[in-house]
Amino acid sequence: MGNRQLAVVVGVLVAIAVVALAGRAITFQSENVIISDVPELTETSLDKVVIRNNEFETVVDKVGGEWRVGQYPVVRLRFDDMWATTSMFQEAELIARNPENHSIMGVSAENGTFVEFWKDDELVDEFFVGDQQFAPIGERMITPWTIFVRTCFLRRPDSDDVFGIFCDFPDRFPTDPKFWRNPIIAEIPRDEIQVVRFRYSDEEFELELNNSVWTLTGGQFNKEPADSQVMVELLQYIEMLVASDFPTEDEVSRLDFSIADITLELDVRPGSTSRSARVLFMRRDEGGFFVKRSDQSYAYILEDELATLVLKKIADFVVEVEVPASTP
């Protein structure tokens, strides 16, 4: 038997073992026992969710009707997925009572994700949630959620009982705050952008849409046609400007955007549904830029690779005119 055939056979045997183990865990209790006393866990009935493990902690608060992680709004799609999962908690069925199974199901204190639900500073309910694809303990690789048995496990911290619900996808409760923060710096559909304006220390210029033609004004140019291909590429990146990362609290405390190195202004057409945006850039010692909208209190990081696609200079938009060759 060749190495490739052997690897396939081993892989199949491992998959069968996983299915068998998961099946044994799920059928451990024959009685159909439903979890009790689970209150309504929805975004309308709660105002804070705390998600943590031994590495990270995320606190999501409802502020003025909007859910936020610190100052940042949440990624709406990911948050909706989490609520879709909590809506099934009241239907969870008893799976196991043996505490030796807790780590396998990702609901132990060592490898579980602990989730608290709050309302008006009162704890409503709390669970260890085992919905991770990977929940290692030391060098032990543990996979509570598998594609073979799509189950998320729940355990209250004061009980050994483990309940299960159907989960089509894993990892609905990540603990890293960066997962939940919305990374979109500015979002304006390209057909609503009327003017793009750049301000550097050594030059200022603007690009304006006039009669379906983008024109360049700045330096020696006054409403000259801009390079259409460069404009198409620029609009592709600025209509949804997405951050590469988020600064640390220490970095934020040292930022002063009143002395920004570069300013990008996006003016929308009259009657647009979007608002104009003014985006400030400050160079990072490590490379890239700290970025902040002038109407927001929080900042982002934009790596050099993306920044070079956005931060253009006058020379990038100049249309090269071909000079016809002189006839002898």
C-alpha triplet 99, 101, 107: angle, nearest 5°: 85
Q: Which residue has the higher pLDDT, 262 or 11?
A: 262
Q: Per the domain annotation, does 75 fall within a domain? A: yes
The whole-number average pLDDT for the span 117-131 is 97
Q: Per the domain annotation, does 124 fall within a domain? A: yes
Instruction: Say how many domains are in the chain.
Output: 2
Q: Per the domain annotation, does 12 fall within a domain? A: no
Q: What is the pTM of this model?
A: 0.84
- Considering the domain architecture, whether residues 172 and 28 belong to the same structural domain is answered as yes
- Considering the domain architecture, whether residues 158 and 191 belong to the same structural domain is answered as no
Minimum mean pLDDT range among 150-154, 280-284, 321-325: 321-325
Q: Per the domain annotation, does 323 fall within a domain? A: no
- Considering the domain architecture, whether residues 134 and 248 belong to the same structural domain is answered as no
How high is the pLDDT of residue 325? 53
C-alpha triplet 172, 174, 178: angle, nearest 5°: 125
Q: Report the C-alpha gap between 139 and 280 in whole angstroms.
A: 45
Question: Could you tell me the pLDDT band of residue 214, with boundaries at 50, 70 and 90?
Answer: very high
- Considering the domain architecture, whether residues 163 and 197 belong to the same structural domain is answered as no
Residue type, 36: S
Q: Per the domain annotation, does 68 fall within a domain? A: yes
Question: Could you tell me the pLDDT band of residue 265, with boundaries at 50, 70 and 90?
Answer: very high
- Considering the domain architecture, whether residues 197 and 141 belong to the same structural domain is answered as no
- Considering the domain architecture, whether residues 175 and 117 belong to the same structural domain is answered as yes
Phi, psi for 310 (deg, rounded to 5)? -105, -45
- Considering the domain architecture, whether residues 278 and 174 belong to the same structural domain is answered as no
Bridge partner residues of 290 (DSSP):
282, 301
End residue of a domain, out of 161, 180, 199? 180
- Considering the domain architecture, whether residues 27 and 161 belong to the same structural domain is answered as yes
Q: Report the C-alpha gap between 234 and 306 in whole angstroms.
A: 11
Q: Per the domain annotation, does 322 fall within a domain? A: no
80: tokens are 């909706």
In Å, what is the CA distance from 311 to each residue of 86, 185, 265, 268?
A: 43, 15, 11, 19
- The yes-or-no verdict on residue 41 having pLDDT over 90 is yes
- Give first-to-last CA distance, the chain, whole Å: 77
- Considering the domain architecture, whether residues 153 and 270 belong to the same structural domain is answered as no
Q: Using an 8 Å Cβ cutoff, are 186 and 302 in contact?
A: no
Percent of the chain residues topping a pLDDT of 90: 85
- Considering the domain architecture, whether residues 153 and 205 belong to the same structural domain is answered as no
pLDDT tens digits, residue range 154-185?
Answer: 999 999 999 999 999 999 999 999 999 999 99
Q: Per the domain annotation, does 5 fall within a domain? A: no
Q: Report the C-alpha gap between 234 and 311 in whole angstroms.
A: 9
pLDDT tens digits, residue range 108-118?
Answer: 999 999 999 99
Q: Report the C-alpha gap between 214 and 199 in whole angstroms.
A: 18
Q: Using an 8 Å Cβ cutoff, are 29 and 97 in contact?
A: yes
Nearest residue to 265 (alpha-carbon basis) of 169, 199, 184, 191: 199
pLDDT tens digits, residue range 58-94?
Answer: 999 999 999 999 999 999 999 999 999 999 999 999 9
Residue 191 makes CB contacts below 8 A (sequence gap 6+) with none
Question: Could you tell me the pLDDT band of residue 32, with boundaries at 50, 70 and 90?
Answer: confident
- Considering the domain architecture, whether residues 248 and 271 belong to the same structural domain is answered as yes
End residue of a domain, out of 180, 210, 225? 180
- The yes-or-no verdict on residue 243 having pLDDT over 60 is yes
Q: Domain limits at 97?
A: 22-180
End residue of a domain, out of 165, 180, 195? 180
> For 179-188, b where at least 16 C-beta lie within 10 A, e where not — what string?
bbbbeebbeb
- Please tell me whether residue 226 adopts helix, strand or coil conformation: strand
Q: Using an 8 Å Cβ cutoff, are 63 and 55 in contact?
A: no
- Considering the domain architecture, whether residues 34 and 175 belong to the same structural domain is answered as yes
The DSSP secondary-structure symbol of 258 reads G
Q: Per the domain annotation, does 269 fall within a domain? A: yes
- Three state DSSP letters for 79-111: HHHHHHHHCCHHHCEEEECCHHHCCCCCCCCCC
CATH for 48: 2.60.40
